[in-house]
Amino acid sequence: MKYFLLICILFQIASGTIAQSPLYLDPKQPVEKRVTDLLKRMTLQEKVAQMCQYVGIEHQVESYRINKGKDPAANDDASSFYRGISFDSLRHMVSNGMVGSFLHIVTAKESNEMQRLAMQSRLKIPILIGIDAIHGNALVNGCTVYPTPLSLASTFNPSIVEKVGVATAKEMRATGSHWTFTPNIDIARDARWGRVGETFGEDTYLVTAMGVAMVKGLQGKNMTGSDVVASCIKHLIGGGNSVNGLNGSPTDISERTLWEIHLPPYKAGVDAGAFTIMTAHNELNGVPCHANKYLMTDVLRTKWGFKGFIVSDWMDIERIATTHKTASDQKEAVYQTVMAGMDMHMHGPGFMEPLMELVKEGRVPMSYIDRSAGKILEAKFKLGLFEKPFVDEGLARLVMFNAENKNLALQSAREAIVLLKNDNVLPLASSVKKIFITGPNADNQTILGDWSLLQPDSNVITVVEGIKQIAPAGTEVEYLPSGTVKKIEKDVIAQAGQKAKDADVTIVVVGENSLRYQNDEKTSGENIDRDNINLLGQQSALVKELIASGKPVIIILVNSRPLSVTEESKTAAAVIEAWEPGDFGGQAIAEIIFGKVNPSGKLPISIPRSTGQIPTYYNAKPSNYFHKYILTQSSALYDFGFGLSYTTFKIDNIKLSKPTIAKTEPVKVTCTVTNTGNMDGDEVVQLYVRDEVSSVTRPVKELKRFQRVSLKQGETKTVEFTLTPKSFEFLDINMKPVIEAGDFTIMVGNSSNDKDLQKVKLIIK
């Protein structure tokens, strides 16, 4: 009887009467085999569906509420809900396997709801959920908000950036997200551009180091597991170098600038394993980036061997036809982008149907669809979504804003804040008994920056709160609200001036507002560009009135782009560039003001004297300032790499391991750094290289190495850098990588300004 039953079971398995578990559902199988097996089981429509992303339903509900009564003509930046598609219809699409990804889902509850619907589909393919977790998962209420990327770049500390990535990934997974659209590794060359604060600054080497650190932090070793997420390096390419400083405007840059300045961070990101890449809003030299085969296929996939997938930016496939006008209609736009190398559409309808038609017509090869769908599925397998599509809804309470993450947010803010000027007023002396604080950014959440939604007040320490907490006992702190960065009333300015006269010192917090939930007050951030970089509104008048009091005035800048504060800097006793320092920004600022923490941040971007100096960057060509401006200085107001300390450092004894090397040899550069002041502190030692004579023009100097060094009072340390042959390489007249024999100047110091650098000659034969 046993043998008879065994034979029957074997017969049923062989005939298909008893279904076998599909190979793609076996977690023991290699990801590559699982992807191949699943693709074989999928219809064309199911494959294309993986390439389709939609906005989360709760986000749509909120968008609909805000836009109620309006009839949007299209799914645009202002209205992220879908005309003609009800919420129930979208849920039905998910349960039928017609949606591959969502973005802007901010709770574990909604994430689980979408995954439950996906589990009802024929193949039970989970949803990949993306979110703009740019500096922490700040679009989620209660998550830890770290300093913005430009702030983090001011630390010159890739290790802390990597830690922020690790912590962000954990909070994302706890709230149901698996993919973040960061890091932004655009090179910021125009301070008018509203997204400067979302980047790591102006320098290719620094941006590369910080971008790679963030990718590693977010993705872990191989982007495998339930506590890592997929990163997305963006925006390919040139958005920070548009012709007029406007987001999405045309970018016209030379092939040399493209390859030497803008592309290296992307190459490094690909080499670091970044699994996704987002293309840019703008056109590049006449070709929309979303239809640029040279970038997406020839460079990324063929030349660099990129193994992940490419996602469009918000509604930019549509703009190939509606804005750039290189396609006659949406179908042709879809054709251009997919044939160029695009893998996923962000966001909404209008992509699946035309793409399926194009495949059936033979215009888009099926191999393109298999590649795109396969890579998206690979991400889902690697991230463990097939085994664990749901998230414990109680986990967020344990992970979000926990003690470890709060400490990391505070430490990163401490290291990021840059002291620009100090006429011996800081740290505040014990004789200071009365402090007056005012300014539009003194007591609100503007310190959080862009890509943050409203956070619990208990999570955010404002500048006023920080000063009151850290001030010594017996110190009187008076605060006067002054309005917003756009509007400060004249009577408030007069009142502030009077109060400043009665105080020992005044602290004024000015700058910008990047908060995306305050649309009427927003002055910086995505799509918020300016025609000048002066202090907006009556902020300069407020500062002037305070200085007229005759008492010392400390200016604190809370902003996301360099601001021209030339006149304000002349008369203020101290200037602090805080950027947007996150949840604990107010505490970190206060600790620096009272000397609890020694400032150590360095500028990752030059601060121009005026709008007319744009673009201003330290690694200019030799002829850049051959002639001078007739009425003003040509140099930056504050140089790249600059930042003061409460102690002093001496950098000397610069030595080369060899004075002459071959083109294939590395060279070691050593120096000593001594804390010659009266306070422990950190110094950022920076190494720059200049090629003295070359076949094509080279920058006057280029950052090639940096190291943050902690030194006790009176302590000396030796710092060692190794320069590889790559450090001296550039593109020759034929755009081929070359190292030319000749003299090189090695410069070591604590800013890019010549007066702060010690020099030594190196000969390459």
| Burial bucket for residue 330 (CB in 10 Å: 0-12, 13-18, 19+) | middle
pLDDT of res. 82: 82
DSSP state of 294: I
pLDDT of res. 60: 83
Q: Phi first, then psi: what are they for 445, rounded to 5°?
A: -90, 15
Give the amino acid at 662.
A
> In the structure encoding, which two tokens stand for residue 751, read together?
């800013």
Q: Which of 447, 439, 446, 463 is nearest to 542 (CA)?
A: 439
Furthest C-alpha separation in the chain: 105
pLDDT of res. 73: 45
Distance (Å, rounded) from C-alpha 222 to C-alpha 272? 10
Distance (Å, rounded) from C-alpha 632 to C-alpha 617? 17
Task: List the chain residues with pLDDT less than 70.
Answer: 1-19, 64, 66-81
| Burial bucket for residue 112 (CB in 10 Å: 0-12, 13-18, 19+) | middle
> In the structure encoding, which two tokens stand for residue 437, read together?
């604080």
513 contacts 485 by C-beta, under 8 angstroms: yes
155 contacts 708 by C-beta, under 8 angstroms: yes
DSSP state of 51: T
pLDDT of res. 7: 44
pLDDT in tens, 651-664: 999 999 999 999 99
DSSP state of 22: P
> In the structure encoding, which two tokens stand for residue 469, read together?
């907490």
CA–CA distance from 668 to each of 654, 664, 727 (Å)?
Answer: 10, 14, 12
Distance (Å, rounded) from C-alpha 41 to C-alpha 152? 45
Residues whose CB falls within 8 Å of the CB of residue 673, separated by 6 or more in sequence, listed in order: 649, 650, 651, 683, 685, 709, 711, 716, 717, 718, 719
pLDDT of res. 315: 93
Question: Annotated catalytic, 520?
Answer: no
610 contacts 192 by C-beta, under 8 angstroms: no
CA–CA distance from 257 to each of 187, 238, 698 (Å)?
Answer: 11, 10, 11
Side by side, the strands of the sheet bearing 667-675 are: 649-656, 667-675, 716-723
590 contacts 470 by C-beta, under 8 angstroms: yes
Distance (Å, rounded) from C-alpha 472 to C-alpha 606? 35
Helix axis angle for 87-95 and 108-118, nearest 10°, is 50
Catalytic residue among 186, 313, 316, 691: 313
548 contacts 569 by C-beta, under 8 angstroms: no
| Burial bucket for residue 405 (CB in 10 Å: 0-12, 13-18, 19+) | buried
- DSSP helix/strand/coil, 84: coil
DSSP 371-411: HHHHHHHHHHHHTTTTT-----TTHHHHHTT-HHHHHHHHH
644 contacts 419 by C-beta, under 8 angstroms: yes
pLDDT of res. 112: 97
Which domains are seen in the chain, by residue range?
42-397 (3.20.20.300), 417-605 (3.40.50.1700), 649-764 (2.60.40.10)
DSSP state of 433: -
Question: Please, which residues bridge with residue 599 across strands?
Answer: none
- DSSP helix/strand/coil, 190: coil
pLDDT in tens, 451-484: 999 999 999 999 999 999 999 999 999 999 999 9
Q: What angle do CA 395, 400, 406 make, to 5 degrees?
A: 145
DSSP 295-340: IIIIIIIIIT---SEEE--TTHHHHHHHTS-SSSSHHHHHHHHHHH
Distance (Å, rounded) from C-alpha 575 to C-alpha 608? 15
Beta pairing class for 179-180 and 128-131: parallel
pLDDT of res. 79: 55
pLDDT of res. 68: 61
Q: Which of 503, 439, 424 is nearest to 471 (CA)?
A: 503
- 524-554 burial, b at 16+ Cβ within 10 Å, e below that, comes to bbbebbbeebbbbbbbeebbbbbbebebbbb
Q: Which of 262, 193, 210, 206 is nearest to 560 (CA)?
A: 193
Q: Phi first, then psi: what are they for 673, rounded to 5°?
A: -125, 125
DSSP 635-666: S-SB-TT--B-SS-EEEEEEEES-SEE-TT--
134 contacts 278 by C-beta, under 8 angstroms: no
> In the structure encoding, which two tokens stand for residue 456, read together?
């619990």
DSSP 221-280: TTS-SSS--B-EEEEETTGGG-SSS-TT--B---HHHIIIIISHHHHHHHHTT--EEEE-
Distance (Å, rounded) from C-alpha 713 to C-alpha 677? 6
Residues whose CB falls within 8 Å of the CB of residue 275, separated by 6 or more in sequence, listed in order: 219, 223, 230, 231, 232, 307, 308, 309, 379, 382
DSSP state of 107: S
618 contacts 604 by C-beta, under 8 angstroms: no
| Burial bucket for residue 286 (CB in 10 Å: 0-12, 13-18, 19+) | exposed
Distance (Å, rounded) from C-alpha 64 to C-alpha 588? 39
CA–CA distance from 720 to each of 654, 673, 686 (Å)?
Answer: 10, 11, 11
